[in-house]
Structure 1
Amino acid sequence: MSLKKASALIVLILLIDQISKFYIKTHFALGEEIRVFDWFRILFVENEGMAWGAKIPGEYGKLFLTSFRLVAIVGIAYWLYDSVKKNGAPVLIVAISLIFAGAFGNIIDSVFYGEIFNHSYNQVATFLPEEGGYGTLMHGKVVDMLYFPLWSGYLPEWIPFWGGKYFTFFEPVFNVADSAITVGVALLLVFNKKAFAHETREEKKEEREEKLVD
């Protein structure tokens, strides 16, 4: 798979991700939802950018998180470039492209959304408001909207720790970028041998060459 095709996939995912986020941010107040089906809803929430809505405490926690993600995206970009250069398996390049696009999509929120939108509490946000955004550069919040409460109810009493408690599956709200990352990681796990077959062959080749030299 060529770098051009990988780039096209990344751009497509970024466009879908950002268009969906812009629409939600400029048409929904925070917490507003549309029930598409009983098991699928469009629900607008925001988070600091970590999994499960967690955040790093402290004044510089958000800045540290965004900076770390920027460094990580550079590493993923190099991984993609190196894999294409070494004629890596198509499934590997697709997986890395999905992970890169997802990570980059959420980084755009974290870096710029605090500057280009005002807040969404009890109101629909405005793009490029005259009074300024709800935060500063590198302090934006990630927009999530996809919610799949497939099942809700009280768990049986015999289940340790959670027995008798009300439970919803699937509870987290996520976005297109999160989905891309999840699919990319799943591809690497499911097609692990096929994805890294080239690297394995190269390692064995190097081992044979080293033995011949010795």
Structure 2
Amino acid sequence: MSLKKASLLILLILLIDQVSKIYIKTHFMLGQEIDVLGWFRILFVENDGMAWGAKIPGSYGKIILTSFRIVAVSLISYWLWDTIRKKSPRILIISVSLILAGAFGNIIDSVFYGVIFDSSLGQIATLFADEPYGELLKGKVVDMLYFPMYSDILPNWVPLWGGEYFVFFAPVFNIADTAISTGFGLLVVFNKKAFPKDK
């Protein structure tokens, strides 16, 4: 797979990711939800930290996280270039391209969204707002894909969580997260094809 084709794949994912996020930001208030298929909903949330809502504490935590993401994207970019240069298996190049596109998509939110959008709390945000909600490198990542396939109170006989309200699958994510997860999933499933051992 050529660098040109890998770049086109990355650009396509980035375009879909950013268009979907900008649409959500400019049409939904924070917490607004639309039921699409019952088990699939559009739910607008913002992630101020890492996966699963984890955060680095302190006033510089967000800047540290964003800086780490920028370094990670630089390293993944080199990894992609190196795999193409070495004519590595197509599945490896596709996987790394997906991971890079997803990481870059979330970096755009973290770096720029704080200075181009105003708050979504109780209102629909404005793109290129006069009073943005944050600062450069302190933006929040937009998430909207929600798949609560099962949500109910668990029977009392269930160990540990019996009698408690339970949601499967609870995380809310975006297209960039999907690309990253798919890339890693392909590497796990097709590990032997992606990393063939020399004979």
Normalised to the residue count of structure 1, the TM-score between the two structures is 0.91
Give the % identical residues. 67
Query: 3-state DSSP class of the match of 1:44?
Result: strand
How many matched pairs? 199
2:43 counterpart SS class: strand
Give the gaps of 5 or more residues in structure 2: none
Which has the higher Rg, Structure 1 or Structure 2?
1
Query: C-alpha displacement at 1:155, in angstroms?
Result: 2.2
1:40 matched to 2:63? The reply is: no
Residue aligned with 1:143, SS: strand
**Which 10-residue stretch deviates more, 24-33 or 51-60?**
51-60
Gaps of 5+ in 1: 205-214
Structure-2 separation of matches of 1:74 and 1:126: 31
What is the deviation of 1:165?
A: 1.2
State the partner residue of 2:182.
Answer: 183
Deviation at 1:51, TM superposition (A): 0.7
Displacement of 1:143: 0.2
Counterpart check, 1:85 vs 2:85? yes
Q: Which amino acid in structure 1 is aligned with residue 93 of structure 2?
A: I
Over 4 Å off, 4+ runs: none
Deviates more, 1:118-127 or 1:150-159: 150-159
Q: What's the offset of the Cα at 1:158?
A: 3.5
- Provide the alpha-carbon RMSD of the alignment: 1.0
Name the one with the larger helix percent: 1
For normalisation by structure 2, the TM-score amounts to 0.97
The equivalent residue for 1:76 is 76
1:121-148, CA deviations, whole angstroms, 9 ceiling, x for partnerless residues? 1000001112x31000000000000001
**1:80–1:97: 8 Å Cα contact kept in structure 2?**
yes
**Displacement after TM superposition at 1:32 (Å):** 0.5
Q: Report the Cα distance in structure 2 between the residues aligned to 1:114 and 1:51, rounded to whole angstroms.
A: 19
DSSP-derived class of the 1:38 partner: coil
Q: For residue 161 of structure 1, report the CA deviation from its aligned partner.
A: 2.4
Write the deviation string for residues 69-89 of structure 1: whole angstroms up to 9, x where unpaired.
100000100100000000010
